[in-house]
Amino acid sequence: MTEVENNNTKEEQVTSPSTPGDNNKKKETIVRRNRPGSKSEQWGNWPELSFENMNSTCAVQQYIQLLIKRNPEDIKTIVTCPENQDPNVWQYEHLRLICLELNPLLIMLSEECHPDVCDTMKATDDAEFFCAAHPKAQPCSAIDYSIHTVDGSISLLNCHSFFPTRVSIQPSSLKHFSNISRRLYRIFAHAWFHHREIFVEFEHQTHLYARFLYFSTKAFNLISPKVVIIPSEACNIDFD
């Protein structure tokens, strides 16, 4: 009999309105959530949370997105790894976000960069790049190269055997950062040399190339300066 009674009290504890009610009182302060039906101007429109108070596994992503939202032109602040932050995780999350933010560029390119015009992946005429997303690297048209490279990079960054967790990075997987960066750079390069208007418009909106360049050459040594072929005028932000 005692057991049955226990059972009931437990049930009450679980379903009694007091528990969530208390919860609400606590949460009434700020709920950082984009609720269905909310206006687009309300999107992410909540008070900033300090990095120390972000304690979920998505904290680094949250923090970088917050910095970008605060001022996308403040490249140095966005890219510089905070103290006490694992720089490898920092790079990992930055690369994820760069892949994410390349999405609009791919959409813009797909309107203009047709396989019959840009049948090979080139920046300048010096070199043709082979697409590494396939089991064996092969020549792909520029738009295919761009999409395959972004998809392949995302796939690699989400690959469980290389990056099993977002909170620490295996030393053996660090080499992928520079591989990914080198390939992503070529997408910017192709856009600059072949689709200048798209590049300029995209860069004006996002400052992603400036961030990517500072991230991969200045803040972290992911691509060698020799590879940088886009003239510095492409960056509308002077971070030197």
Partner 1 sequence: MASDIYQQNSPNGYNNYSFPGVLHYLQMEWRKFEKERTEWEIERADLKTRLSFLEGERRGIENLKVDLLRRIKMLEYALRQESNNEEEQVEDNNVNDKKQENTKAPETKEDVNALNVKLNKTGNKDQSLRYQLSIKNEEANALTPTPMKIGYWNPSSNNSSSLNDLKNLKHNSESLSGINNISNNNNSLQKSIKTATYTTMNKEKNLKPVNSSSNNINNASNNNNNMNGNNNEYNLIVKKKMNGKRKEAPLSKLCNYYFIHLDTVRSLSFHHTDKVLLSGSDDGTAKLWNLEFLGNTKKSMIDIDPVYTYRGHLGPVLSVDISDDICYTGGFDSTIRSWKVPPKNMELYSKYDSSIKQHVFEGHTDAVWCVKAHPLKDQYHLLASASSDGTVKLWDTESYELKSTLDYNGLVSESKEVEANPTYINWLHTDYSKAIVSYQNSIVKLFDLETGSEYMKLPSAETYDNTPGTQINQVISHPTMPLIITAHEDCFIRFFDIKSGECIHSMTAHLDGVSSLSVHPSGISFASGGHDSSIRIWDIASKNCIQEMSSHRKKFDEGVWCVKYHPTLSNILASCGGDSTSKIYSVDQPC
Quick one: what does residue 139 bind among Zn ion, partner 1, none, with the CB cut-off 5 to 8 Å set by partner type? none
Is 62 a residue that touches partner 1 (CB under 8 A)? yes
* Tokens of residue 73, six digits: 């032109």
Shortest approach of Zn ion to residue 234 CB, angstroms?
16
**What DSSP string describes 146-174?**
HHHHHHHHHHHHT-TTT-S-SS---GGGT
* Tokens of residue 178, six digits: 């520079």
Q: Is 99 annotated as a binding residue?
A: no
Near partner 1 in 121-160, by CB under 8 A: 131, 133-134, 140-141, 143-144, 147-148, 151-152, 154-155, 158-160
Shortest approach of partner 1 to residue 148 CB, angstroms?
4
Of the pair 93, 144, the CB lying nearest Zn ion is at: 144
Contacts with partner 1 by CB under 8 A: the residue count is: 73
Q: Residue by residue, what is the 3-state secondary structure of 9-49?
A: HHHHHHHCCHHHHHHHHHHCCCCCCCCCCCCHHHCCCCCCC
Q: Which residue do the tokens 């396989």 mark?
A: 115
Shortest approach of partner 1 to residue 20 CB, angstroms?
4
Shortest approach of partner 1 to residue 211 CB, angstroms?
16
Is 100 a residue that touches partner 1 (CB under 8 A)? yes
CA distance 19 to 11: 12
Quick one: what does residue 29 bind among Zn ion, partner 1, none, with the CB cut-off 5 to 8 Å set by partner type? none
Q: Is 195 annotated as a binding residue?
A: yes
Of the pair 141, 181, the CB lying nearest Zn ion is at: 141
Is 118 a residue that touches Zn ion (CB under 5 A)? yes
CA distance 136 to 132: 7
For residue 21, which phi and psi values (nearest 5 degrees)?
-60, -45
Burial of residue 182 (number of CB atoms within 10 Å: 0-12, 13-18, 19+): middle
- When binding is defined by CB under 8 A, the residue of 43, 116, 125, 240 that contacts partner 1 is 43
**SS3 category, 236:** coil
Is 94 a residue that touches partner 1 (CB under 8 A)? no
CB burial string 4-22: b at 16+ within 10 A, e below: eeeeeeeeeeeeeeeeeee
Is 191 a residue that touches partner 1 (CB under 8 A)? no
- When binding is defined by CB under 8 A, the residue of 5, 25, 50, 56 that contacts partner 1 is 56
Of the pair 118, 223, the CB lying nearest Zn ion is at: 118
The binding site for Zn(2+) consists of: 113, 118, 190, 195
